[in-house]
Amino acid sequence: MPNIHPKTTPIYQTSVFTFDDLNELELYFGQPGQSYMYTRYGNPNTDELAQEVNKLESGVGAVVTSSGMSAILAAILAVCQAGDHVLCAEEIYGGSSALLTQELTRVGIEVGFVPTADTYTLDSYVQPNTRLMLAETMSNPLLQVLNITRLAQETSRQSIKLVIDNTFASPILTKPLTLGADIVIHSVTKYLSGHSDVTAGVVICRAQEVLQRVQKVMMVYGLNLSPFEGWLAARGLKTLRLRMKQHSSNGLQVARYLQQHPKVEKVWYPGLEEHPQHELAKQQGQGLFGGMLSFQIKDEAEAVNRFMQALPTIPFAPSLAGVNTSISHPLGTSHRSLTPEQQQKLGITVGVIRFSTGIEEPEELIAELEAALAVV
């Protein structure tokens, strides 16, 4: 067979790899990372994705998983066991909250939520068995921006790990490990992959021993990603920097437009000067503010329905961060599992719409929004 040097990594669509003999098998166990045995343990496509994301996040290594949810699970189980206590920011993705409160509590992990006002003073929340705190760079869906350096100083003082969900920001805006976080997770499904055709997650670590634990959890629990999705995500990652610049530029223009519209009651976007963490977001995001924003129209389901139905090309799709713009309804989707009291406390009402700005021409997006808001 001739020497083949493909510019793009081929897809290793196989569940298992072969060995010549026992000597080669022993080499596999004696020199980890030099060869492959079983795709649940490792595959060239998923390894390539892990290595590229790790470079972007400046970690010691990364582990890719089957979804963003399995990435959160792997990060927590790498640090915690039955009898341990986990802290979580009060305003967080509803799926993360459901995982903690509905599932991990069933296996003996205690959970406590920290109100936004107390984020940086954890004395009254940390217990002797507290092991970590989970928070988001920018919260879902109301875009509160976390001062990662400040929180990392507090979690270090409390001797607990800090796990940051960096999905909304991406490493193009913010690298939490360089600001003191211990573990970073992403739903690769979103910005890292970028084209709404992959379901994947990734965990990036600052310490080698934590990385090894995450790898073990991924392998033993079977949280691995398929080769094809690893290949697709690695391909999408190549345009991440370009996409984030356009997402951010469009996000700012759309937010400014919505801010002045008489039928829009409130806009949440860190790029607006009125945003309470605008200066922090500017500094922590390298002058970019991302493509995610939320806004509030009349608190009536029928008004929201009319608005959604009047958008000819912007779909109602309960995900985010694709190259095509989409909208979502946090009350009915991402934060549906919260109690009405929790939803009310966070300000997630029926009129709140989350807007994932794509990379289209901003004038087209604004014209479509103008027409849809006219029927509200």
Q: Could you give the percent of the chain with pLDDT greater than 70? A: 99
Contact 151, 165 (CB under 8 A): no
With 90 as the cut, is the pLDDT of residue 60 above it?
yes
The string of pLDDT tens digits covering residues 284-342 is 999 999 999 999 999 999 999 999 999 999 999 988 999 999 999 998 777 777 778 87
Q: Which position has the token pair 């509200």?
A: 376
In CATH terms, 22-237 corresponds, of 3.40.190.10, 2.40.50.140, 3.40.640.10, 3.10.20.740, to 3.40.640.10
Q: Which of 40, 266, 306, 336 is catalytic?
A: 40
Asked about 216 being catalytic, the answer comes back as no
CATH 3.90.1150.10 positions along the chain are 240-373
In CATH terms, 240-373 corresponds, of 3.90.1150.10, 3.40.50.740, 1.10.287.130, 3.40.1080.10, to 3.90.1150.10
| pLDDT at res. 193 | 98
| pLDDT at res. 333 | 76
Amino acid at 194: G
Structure-block tokens of residue 91: 């305003």
Q: What is the DSSP letter of 201?
A: E
Q: β-pairing, 326-328 with 61-65?
A: unpaired
Asked about 20 being catalytic, the answer comes back as no
User: Which one, of 82, 80, 84, 86, lies nearest residue 101 by Cα?
Assistant: 86
Q: Which of 161, 175, 190, 243 is catalytic?
A: 190
Asked about 40 being catalytic, the answer comes back as yes
| pLDDT at res. 318 | 87
**Strand order across the beta sheet in which 85-89 lies:** 61-65, 201-205, 183-187, 161-165, 130-136, 85-89, 110-114
The string of pLDDT tens digits covering residues 200-212 is 999 999 999 999 9
Q: Which position has the token pair 């006002």?
A: 117
Alpha helix (H) ranges present in 174-272?
208-221, 227-237, 240-259
Amino acid at 149: T
Structure-block tokens of residue 286: 């390298």
Q: Which of 12, 47, 161, 165 is catalytic?
A: 165
With 70 as the cut, is the pLDDT of residue 1 above it?
no
Positive or negative torsion for Cα 122, 127, 130, 134: negative
Contact 186, 177 (CB under 8 A): no
Residue 228 zone, left/alpha/beta (φ > 0; ψ -120 to 50; rest): alpha
Q: Which of 12, 47, 93, 161 is catalytic?
A: 93
In a 3-state reduction of DSSP, which class is residue 373? helix
| pLDDT at res. 109 | 98
pTM of the predicted model as reported, rounded to 2 decimal places? 0.95
Contact 63, 74 (CB under 8 A): yes
The string of pLDDT tens digits covering residues 153-193 is 999 999 999 999 999 999 999 999 999 999 999 999 999 99
User: Which one, of 287, 211, 162, 197, lies nearest residue 53 by Cα?
Assistant: 211
How confident is residue 34, by pLDDT bands cut at 50, 70 and 90?
confident
The string of pLDDT tens digits covering residues 100-149 is 999 999 999 999 999 999 999 999 999 999 999 999 999 989 999 999 99
